[in-house]
Every structure is written in structure tokens, then in C-alpha cells.
């Protein structure tokens, strides 16, 4: 049973790591796109609404799909005054209770309440208000479903990790090491 749980945790962690690292490249793309837009506007007196909107799309992708990666890395905001001094078992209790009482229910509510909104956008094939803009607003709104889905998945992995620590089936030393929060992803 423990082997199956570890396989699930590793699979979710791997998926989150791969998607998070891939998404992180969009930060570089946003900077490059901003430079292109500025050069086009101020040196060539030209512009593109689609290019400007693409930054919004990339920004949405980075934040909405990067949230699970941030959770995996322990980068979400929490009151760390007491937590950092806790034993591994107390940290596991806090993480388990927080995941079960806050993370999963809130993510599920976001998913449920976003469903009709996203479905309506897909039903009408919602597009940019600008004629030359990106004609796929419904794709951007789909992030409202993908974000809680990936967060629920990674939340389950974190809850399972905490449960393994609490049951003594896995020590903290056996868990995948958290990376340095300042480590560049690209």
C-alpha cells in the first residue's frame, strides 16, 4: 500500500515539476514580447493588439498553472513564525489539516463555481473585443478550471506526504528535498 501511495506522490510531483518548469519559460517570453511591443510602438510607430494580449495570456498561464508548482516547492504564503520551529510531525499535522480543511475545499469551490462561466465562454466561442486581438478568450478562461484541478492534484500529493510522515511510513529525510526558492527555473 505504501508503495502505491509513493508511486502516486512521485507521479503527481513529476507532473507538477515538468509543467511548472515548462511554464516558467513564459516569464522570459513575456519579457521578450514586452521588448518587441515597445520597439514596435516607439521606433516603428506600429503596434499589435494580439501581441499585447499575448502577454496577458502568458501572465495568466504563469500564475494559474504555476500555483501547483509553487505549492510543491513550499512557496505559498503562510505564517511561518511558529511553523519553522515545529517538529516534522507537527509540520505534517499543520500541512495535513490545512490541505484537508482549506486547500481542497477552496480549490473544489473555485472549480465548481467557475464551471458554468467557462462553459458559457466555450459555448459562444468568446473572442477578444478587439477585431485584431486573440480570438480565444474561452481558452484563457479555461485556466479557471485548470488551476484548481492542478492545485487539487498537488494538494493530494502534499496531504499524502504528510500522512506518511504521521504514520511513520516515511521520514522527512526520505521525502523529496525542497529546492532553494531562489534557484532559477530556467
pTM score: 0.84
Mean predicted lDDT score pLDDT of the chain:
89
Residues of the chain with pLDDT under 70: 79, 171-186
Name the residue among 169, 120, 109, 158 with its Cα closest to residue 142.
Answer: 120
Task: Find cell 495535513 and name the residue.
Answer: 96
CA pseudo-torsion sign 36, 37, 41, 45: positive
Query: Would you say 107 and 152 are in contact if contact means Cβ atoms under 8 Å apart?
Result: yes
pLDDT of residue 171: 58
pLDDT of residue 137: 94
User: Which DSSP state fits 1?
Assistant: -
Query: Would you say 117 and 101 are in contact if contact means Cβ atoms under 8 Å apart?
Result: no
pLDDT of residue 168: 87
Amino acid at each position: 500500500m505504501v508503495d502505491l501511495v509513493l508511486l502516486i506522490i512521485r507521479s503527481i510531483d513529476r507532473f507538477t515539476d515538468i509543467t511548472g518548469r515548462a511554464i516558467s519559460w513564459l516569464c522570459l517570453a513575456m519579457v521578450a514580447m514586452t521588448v518587441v511591443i515597445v520597439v514596435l510602438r516607439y521606433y516603428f510607430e506600429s503596434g499589435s493588439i494580439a501581441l499585447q494580449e499575448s502577454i496577458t495570456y502568458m501572465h495568466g498561464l504563469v500564475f494559474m498553472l504555476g500555483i501547483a508548482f509553487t505549492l510543491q516547492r513550499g512557496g505559498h504564503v503562510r505564517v511561518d513564525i511558529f511553523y519553522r520551529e515545529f517538529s516534522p510531525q507537527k509540520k505534517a499535522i499543520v500541512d495535513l489539516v490545512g490541505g484537508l480543511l482549506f486547500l481542497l475545499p477552496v480549490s473544489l469551490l473555485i472549480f465548481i463555481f467557475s464551471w458554468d462561466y467557462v462553459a458559457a465562454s466555450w459555448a459562444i466561442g468568446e473572442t477578444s473585443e478587439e477585431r485584431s486581438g486573440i480570438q480565444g478568450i474561452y481558452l484563457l478562461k479555461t485556466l479557471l478550471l485548470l488551476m484548481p484541478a492542478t492545485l487539487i492534484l498537488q494538494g493530494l500529493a502534499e496531504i499524502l506526504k504528510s500522512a506518511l510522515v504521521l504514520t511513520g511510513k516515511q521520514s522527512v529525510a526520505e521525502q523529496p528535498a525542497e529546492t532553494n526558492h531562489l534557484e532559477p527555473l530556467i
